[in-house]
Amino acid sequence: MKLKGIRRQKRGDKVIRYHRATGIRLPDDIPETHPDFVSAWARCEAGQGQPDAPKAPAPTGSLAAACIAFRGSPSFKEQSPVYRDILTRNIEAIRGEYGHVAIKAIKAKHISADLAKLAGTRPLSRLKTWRKVMDHARRTGLIEEDPSLTVKAPKVKLKGHQVWTEGDIEVFRGKWKIGTVQRACFELLLWTAARTVDAVRIGPQHVGKDGVLSFRQSKTGGMAYVPWTATLPNWGAGWADERREMMEALRCLAGGLTFLQARGARPRSEKGLSNLISAAAREAKLEGRTAHGLRKARLTRIAEAGGSAHAIKSWGGHKTLAEAAHYTESADAKRLVTGTEQEQNAVSPAERDTKTANN
């Protein structure tokens, strides 16, 4: 199937490809059927693509010129697509207000004043961007000392995404039946534990001959492996019916290059998917439930069913075991008094009654 909206230019023996609507250059070292190419195209279709660097000229020695230089550097390009987007938004905000100022004139007090204008978690994110731009400027000889290093990181109280309980999941399913878009999006997120940025781009091309859905996470670069049609592990054997329901729910959206693409429509955006889940949850009288909470629910389920930290790392796409360990730590504590789901299911009610009577 040939992707639409691509402008192809032949340069010698090479074909250069651009997304027609945005003008963003697409990967030219892989076939158009490759999952990474389809993902890049889908991001552009959803309006999430970013040019590699701003095109506006900037005076030599200015903060704007330093920002542009950083965006063209390997240290910027080696970041994940998600974090590059965050850095880009901060850089453009910095350029908009202070781009005309000579970078040598920027002091710690100026950076602190910029942070003071922001609320929530934004000051911390902005400071991290200042430090990356200034560090690059120092390493390239634009400044001798980095003023951002003396700026104290703002204290931010982070509020984590609430994990969906089994009761929440049943309420949502009761409100949104199979055949609705809300249910299809919900089931894919819950089964795969994918972040919204990845959920909107994965599709049939990511399922291998072994029946495993494999995709590289945009945020961390780690690989996630989800049993799609493959045999489920022993601790997840009881999830077969849930997986079948997920497959059935997705049929109302089948036909696109991504699982969540409606027939003949553009791929969904990350923000659109997140808003859809939050709004659907509110309609089901579930407040404070988010798409990311579904990821945490799946990983919590793996731990409580008896899955190891290695299993959580593989399914969730974590880069290190430490990132997955907190799921198993709480599950291990709970298991001391309840046993695993697998252990509980292995004992019949009659056997439990006999053991109780003998005790």
**SS3 state of residue 212:** strand
Say if residue 38 is in the same domain as residue 55: no
Tokens 């404070």 locate to 288
pLDDT at 349: 42
Quote the pLDDT of residue 48: 55
Same domain membership, residue 279 and residue 194: yes
CATH of the domain at 276: 1.10.443.10
- How much is the pLDDT for 252? 85
Chain segment 250-274, per-residue pLDDT in tens? 998 866 789 998 656 677 888 889 9
Domain that holds residue 32: 1-43
Read off the pLDDT of residues 206-226 as tens digits, 9 standing for 90 and up: 999 999 999 998 887 889 999
Angle value at C-alpha 172, between 169 and 177, nearest 5 degrees: 120
Asked if 177 and 316 sit in the same domain, the reply is yes
Main-chain phi, psi angles of 115, to 5 degrees:
-65, -35
| Residues 128 and 192 both lie in one domain | no
Let me know whether 178 and 123 are in one domain. Answer: no
What is the band of 167 on the pLDDT scale with cuts at 50, 70, 90? very high
Range name among 166-180, 223-237, 322-336 with the lowest pLDDT average: 322-336
Per-residue confidence at 85, pLDDT binned at 50, 70, 90?
A: confident
State the amino acid at position 291 in one-letter form.
A
Residue 61 placed within a domain: yes
In this prediction, residues 277-305 reach a mean pLDDT of 94
The answer to whether residues 33 and 205 touch, using CB atoms and an 8 Å cutoff, is yes
pLDDT score at 359: 45
Q: What is the pLDDT of residue 354?
A: 45
Token match 């919590």: residue? 300
pLDDT tens-digit readout, 87-142:
999 999 998 889 999 999 999 999 999 999 888 778 999 999 999 999 999 999 99
Query: Does one domain contain both 201 and 272?
Result: yes
How many residues make up the chain in this entry? 359
Phi, psi of 290, rounded to the nearest 5 degrees:
-125, 170
Task: Evaluate if residue 347 carries a pLDDT over 70.
Answer: no
Averaged pLDDT, 73-81: 86
Higher model confidence: residue 15 or residue 129?
129
Is 272 contained in some domain?
yes
Q: Report which DSSP code applies to 10.
A: E
Number of domains in the chain: 3
- Asked if the structure places residue 356 within a domain, the reply is no
Q: What is the mean pLDDT of the chain?
A: 84
d(CA 49, CA 330): 38
Mean pLDDT of 66-82: 88
Domain check: are 275 and 175 in the same one?
Answer: yes
Does residue 153 sit in the same domain as residue 187? no
Let me know: does 87 contact 129? Beta carbons within 8 Å.
yes
| Res 277 pLDDT > 70 | yes
Question: What is the CB neighbour count within 10 angstroms for residue 357?
Answer: 7
pLDDT tens digit string along 46-62? 765 544 444 456 788 99
In a domain, 359, yes or no: no
Rounded-to-integer distance, Cα 291 and Cα 75, Å? 30
Same domain, 149 and 172: no
pLDDT of res. 51: 45
The domain boundary residue, chosen from 122, 138, 158: 158
Q: Between 320 and 127, where is the model more confident?
A: 127
